[in-house]
Structure 1
Amino acid sequence: MKIGNVAARLGTTVRTLRFYEEQGLVRPRRTAGGTRVYSQDDERRFAAILALVRLGFSVQTLVDLAGVRPESLSGDQARQAVQSRLRTMDASLAEQSMRIQEQRRDIARALSFVELCRGCSQRPTRVACDHCEISTGRGEISIMQVIWDEPAPEPT
């Protein structure tokens, strides 16, 4: 399979896949003429790499992980090194999951908050909204700091 087909199937760019190849994460076979040919195993490997990168893992982390087995002198040494890296990755995902859940709770509070504005005919400006009794709880909702307009600059 050609790299353009693999990229299209995985929803990424040829450049991204070439970058992973340049980093030594995928080594496709080549035809007699030197053309790269990607197998289903290569596509699955690319898919795994993309999934991990999309979760925030660095390419260097994946290069290090991929290098464990070839650099190990025994299966047990490889097992220990792989387990250590996988545990670190799992802890990172657990922390990320907690941050995501916290943000989802904040978004849920924001959704409830903005629902209170249903039917409001006022223009949504800080001056108008700051005088509304509904707006008193918005400071406790983190994402509202992004939604709410900035205060007017202090007079100089």
Structure 2
Amino acid sequence: MRIGELAQRAGTSTRSLRYYEAQGLLQARRAANGHREYDESDLRLVQEIRSLLEIGFALEETRPFVECLRAGNSSGDACPASIEVYRRKLAELNAGIARLSEIRDRLAAQLETVSEEPCSR
């Protein structure tokens, strides 16, 4: 399939696909006329990348998942490097949630100390 069809089937843009290629995440084959050619395995790679990006992963964090698929695994998270990325991301999220909870608690405490009387000028 050509780049436009891959983009359409993967729900992304040709520009994104070219960017993934420039980053070494996607490897296009070239037809005799110079056009990029892709197959179903490339579609699977792009779907994996898009899925991870949608849940907050940075593009570089998708690399172990892509490499895992390229190695012939049926899932991008079947490899130890991918699992380690999951662990790091989960730790980041837990730290962020803890920080937000702390801020929420401080704001709630501050709000309790504020009087309900209207402000006089």
- TM normalised by structure 2 equals 0.58
Q: In the alignment, which residue of structure 2 is the partner of 1:87? A: 83
Residue equivalent to 1:5: 5
The Cα shift of 1:155 comes to: 7.6
Corresponding residue for residue 14 of structure 1:
14
Corresponding position of 1:106? none
Where 1:7 maps in the other structure, the secondary structure is: helix
1:50-81 CA distances to partner (integer Å, 9 max, x unpaired)? 11121222122234x2569xxxxxxxxxxxxx
Q: CA deviation at 1:94?
A: 7.2
Bigger Cα Rg: 1
Q: Which runs of 4+ in 1 moved over 3 A?
A: 93-97
Unaligned runs of 5+ in 2: 69-78, 98-106, 109-118
Number of residue pairs aligned between Structure 1 and Structure 2: 92
Question: Residue type of the partner of 1:4?
Answer: G
Taking the aligned partners of 2:19 and 2:120, their CA distance within structure 1 comes to: 52
Read off the aligned partner of 1:31 and give its amino acid letter: A
Secondary structure, aligned partner of 1:48: helix
Corresponding residue SS for 1:12: coil
TM-score in terms of structure 1 length: 0.47
Which residue is equivalent to 2:49?
49
For 2:85, the aligned partner's letter is M
RMSD in angstroms over aligned alpha carbons?
3.5
SS in 1 for 2:44: helix
Letter of the 2:9 partner, please give it. Answer: R
